[in-house]
Amino acid sequence: MKQIDVVTMGETMVLFTGNESLPIPYVHQFKKQIGGAESNVAIGLARLGYKSGWMSKLGDDPFGTYIHHFIRGEGVDTTQVQLIDYAPTGIFFKESLSPEDVRVHYYRYQSAASTLTKEDVKEEYIKQARVLHLTGITPALSSTCKEAVFQAISYAQKHSVPIIFDPNIRYKLWNNLDDAKKTLLEMATHSDIILAGEDEGEFLTGEKDVHSMAKALKTADSQHIIVKQGKSGAYILSNEEMFVEGFPVDQVVDPVGAGDGFAVGVISAYLDGQTIPYGVKRGNAIGSLVVKVNGDIEGLPTKRSLEQYLSNQSNPGQDVKR
């Protein structure tokens, strides 16, 4: 019997956000939070009542201690997180000049998480998961992180653990964009569900319309390809084509983290045995909640608050077949 619903792996850093909407040189006070795509998803799933686990490395320093305690306090299993004394915890700064102009500055070179190796990935841990969630961020951190990702994929395939993949491309992290494309496409071929942004789909396939890029990404009949189209919704290509409308948002406060919220919705619905379109609807809902507040995880809902939000929408996430 599977003992954990979702396992994910990747880097989490301490996030500093300016208290004023000014360029960083003119900001004097910052709010301390955490940020990391994979741990965001793990936290989001834990808040909905699922058992999630996060694999990573942190520096044995005050920032690493803060992250470790915070994520564990959210109910995420952190038994596969190592605190090491030979590399620091990464940090980054968010510069929010306006909701439409958010800039992120990373200080993660040679961070603790970048030292992750394939030996750190434990087969028994992957084996007991119902789903393995991966992003394209982790293989960009270092060659050893890339090896660790493909080791996790190998274990997942060996034990028939479905893989849900979000390319989540960070162009600045890759030394070579051709290598980025090759690596992410290889990850995609091993994945059961792919969650790509429209710009990511174009980068990976060279196609400009969502149907063509989804068709190019779909290398097996059993795969489900989801192309996120921002506030308008998302396109699905599986055994049929479908578009699922987004949820209206009166004011976007902070767009960062919306994609992770979307992943939480899709993964949680998959774990519940729901359809892919329903998962996209749930993902759109959570994404719309995340962007209404500052921070990557602050807007992630509990199960009860999500149910209330969905029930209060008059006609949300309508499915449109093509």
Q: At 269, is the secondary structure helix, strand, or coil?
A: helix
Q: Distance between CA 291 and CA 59 in Å, rounded? A: 30
Contact between 279 and 308 (Cβ < 8 Å): no
Helices (H) and strands (E) in the chain, counts: 11, 14
Burial 227-250 (b: 16+ CB within 10 A, else e): bbbebebbbbbbeeebbbbbbebe
Token pair for residue 89?
A: 């915890």
Q: 61, 260, 272, 319: which is the annotated catalytic residue?
A: 260
Placement of tokens 């301490």 in the chain: 14
| Catalytic residue status for 260 | yes
246 φ, ψ (degrees, to nearest 5) = -80, 180
> Contact at 8 Å (CB) between 34 and 67?
yes
C-alpha–C-alpha distance, residues 221 and 105, integer Å: 40
Contacts 24+ apart (CB under 8 A), 227-231: 227/196, 227/197, 227/198, 227/201, 228/195, 228/196, 228/197, 228/198, 228/259, 228/262, 229/198, 230/198, 231/288
Beta strands at 241-245 and 233-237: parallel, antiparallel or unpaired: antiparallel
Strand-pairing partners, residue 291, are none
**Nearest 5°: CA angle at 94, between 115 and 255?**
105
Tokens (6 digits) for 70: 């915070």
Query: Which are the catalytic amino acids?
Result: 260
